[in-house]
């Protein structure tokens, strides 16, 4: 319970609310950027490989290797 009290005090302090909002918006921006970049790379590549079947083995091997790394998969 001792660990929850400082957290609760931080969250309920009105002076901290702008900081919490700012950090939340920063996080949402970083997330949107990462998803956007992923879409710019993966969507055209997926459409091309799905349509032509060229490079499918390479793309599957790279995707499998990236999934093996927890920070990238």
Q: Are 30 and 24 in contact (CB under 8 A)?
A: no
Q: Residue 14 gets which letter from DSSP?
A: G
| pLDDT tens, residue by residue, 6-47 | 999 998 999 999 999 999 999 999 999 999 999 999 999 999
For tokens 């032509």, name the residue: 52
**Cα distance between residue 32 and residue 37, in whole Å:** 9
Task: Specify the pLDDT at position 38.
Answer: 92
**Cα distance between residue 53 and residue 51, in whole Å:** 6
């Amino acid at each position: 319970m001792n660990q929850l009290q400082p957290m609760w005090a931080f969250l309920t302090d009105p002076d901290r609310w702008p900081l919490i909002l700012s950090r939340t918006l920063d996080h949402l921006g970083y997330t949107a950027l990462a998803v956007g970049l992923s879409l710019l790379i993966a969507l055209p590549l997926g459409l091309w490989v799905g349509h032509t079947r060229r490079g499918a083995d390479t793309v599957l091997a790279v995707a499998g290797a990236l999934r093996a790394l927890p920070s990238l998969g």
